[in-house]
Amino acid sequence: ILGGVLVRLGNTQIDGSVKTRLDNIKDQLSRVIS
């Protein structure tokens, strides 16, 4: 579910600060997965 949400947000025009937060979340998720 989270992956789909991140993809949707990535395809839409979003605020820079929000994008930065999403990037941080992606980094944290990738660390947890690996």
| CA dist., res. 30 & res. 3, Å (int) | 11
Cα-Cα-Cα-Cα torsion 21, 22, 27, 28, nearest 10 degrees, comes to 80
In this prediction, residue 28 carries a pLDDT of 92
Contacts of 29 (CB under 8 A, 6+ apart): 2
What is 2-27 written as a DSSP string? HHHHHHHHHHS---HHHHHHHHHHHH
**Buried (b) or exposed (e) across 22-31, using 16+ Cβ within 10 A?**
eeeeeeeeee
In this prediction, residue 4 carries a pLDDT of 66
Residue by residue, pLDDT tens for the chain (34 residues) are: 566 666 666 666 556 677 788 899 999 999 988 7
pTM: predicted TM-score of the whole model, two decimal places: 0.44
In this prediction, residue 8 carries a pLDDT of 67
